[in-house]
Amino acid sequence: MRTAFSTFRLRTVGFALAAGLLTPVAMAQDIKVGLVAALTGQSAQSGEAITRGLTIAIEQINARGGLLGRKVVLVRRDDESSPPKGVAAARELISSEKVSALFGGIDTPVSLAITPIANQSRTPFISVWAAGTGITVNGANPNYVFRVSAQDDLVDIALVRYASSRFGAKKPGLVLVNNAWGESNDKGLRAAAAAAKVELAGVEKIEMNDVDVTPQLSRLRNAGADALILVANAAPGAQMMKSRERMGWKVPVVSHWGISGGRFDELVGPSASDAHFVQTYSFFAPPNETGKAVMAELSSRYGVKGPADVIAPVGTANAYDAMRLLGIAIERAKSTEGDAIRKAMEDIDQYVGLIKTYKRPFSATDHEGLAPEDYVMVQYEGSRIVPVK
């Protein structure tokens, strides 16, 4: 039975619609998507880059009418590179903010901790930086975790091959951060070296707060290492580079991409350019139409003058494409319900993105949107990240 108030409210809304003061889009609830990433601390650049990529994609989507006639809104939470804080943030975004999907940041340990929560709650979770193999290869069926980023097992093959082909390395040494991401790459690099019949000089671990890596490097040098393969984020990676410089050891360095998520170039100085590292996209590459549009938005919104000014480029590129792919899935599903989005993600036919043209990027058994042929090798040139010459 209608109350006097409900009757008045219906009449008021009807009048507003007739007068053009409210539209169905204005009345519809926004579609919220969440980001759990490092927004402060040593890897804050990565979180800012991911935010920029998501924001540009969302603004483009909203300018075209949103999704399902509804506006898309980004809700961010800072995980401070801490798995417990990431878990708390993910739970809050899912239960309180009612996000339709989650995006993850640079830290593999955080994303690994969020993965079971996403699967249990049936919330699509898209990794746009963290490369740990177990994030997507997690044993869940159905699996709600996708990735538009590199994957450790595949990156490890590329790093071993690059050390051999570029520097002629026959006995590389591994320097790995002592956490779940380092463990993921420990297994992957050993397997990649064995498959390539490359002998490893040794494996050394470094801590996030190490200020002197000389003992670990000395052991590798004494073991005959002719290249170093580094897996660490910016701060510990910088300490390794500075220890190498203090030792006067000019050994080549081939690195995973964690060093590009912070102030690596500032912390290391001129020798930062000695580290060649992997990326999934370079803004120095000839852009397609999507690339031109993204660069124009980076310029107008963030004051980016050119490719050299793009901070943590893979964060921006991966996040942009991931949001556009999620948008396609939501429209295809005609729903924001988690299982419908998951199935639609697995059924995307084609999308001309920033990084590449995606053709059947996901399936029921493969949730990796990028492959080794999408990787490029880069280095620092001052503060710029540029393709290796």
Residue-wise pLDDT tens digits, 60-119 = 999 999 999 999 999 999 999 999 999 999 999 999 999 999 999 999 999 999 999 999
Q: CATH topology for 153-279?
A: Rossmann fold (3.40.50)
Residues above pLDDT 90, as percent of the chain: 88
For 193-198, what is the mean pLDDT? Answer: 97
Q: Within a 10 A sphere around the Cβ of 317, how many other Cβ atoms? A: 26
Over residues 10-46, the pLDDT tens digits come to 444 444 444 444 444 444 699 999 999 999 998 999 9
The three-point CA angle 283-136-385 to 5° equals 20
CA angle 102-103-105, nearest 5°?
A: 140
pLDDT band at 5 (very low <50, low <70, confident <90, very high): very low
> How far does the chain reach from its first CA to its final CA, in angstroms?
75
Check pLDDT > 70 for residue 295: yes
pLDDT tier at 272, thresholds 50, 70, 90: very high
Q: What percent of the chain lies above the pLDDT cut of 70?
A: 93
pLDDT at 2: 44
What is the pLDDT confidence band of residue 4, given thresholds at 50, 70 and 90? very low
* Residues near 26 by beta carbon (within 8 Å), at least 6 away in sequence: none
What's the average model confidence in pLDDT over 334-349?
98
User: Residue 155: pLDDT above 80?
Assistant: yes
Do 153-279 and 25-150+285-371 have the same topology in CATH?
yes
Q: Is pLDDT of 275 > 70?
A: yes
* CATH fold for the domain made of 25-150+285-371: Rossmann fold (3.40.50)
Averaged over 228-240, what is the pLDDT? Answer: 96
Tens of pLDDT, residue by residue over 249-268, are: 999 999 999 998 889 999 99
**Residue matched to tokens 């579609």:** 31
| Distance from C-alpha of 37 to C-alpha of 79, rounded to nearest angstrom | 5
Q: CA torsion 177→178→180→182, rounded to 10°?
A: 40
What average pLDDT does range 206-215 have in this prediction? Answer: 93
CA distances for 187 relative to 133, 178, 230, 265, angstroms: 10, 13, 14, 28
Cα distance between residue 110 and residue 233, in whole Å: 14
In the chain, where are the structural domains located? 25-150+285-371, 153-279
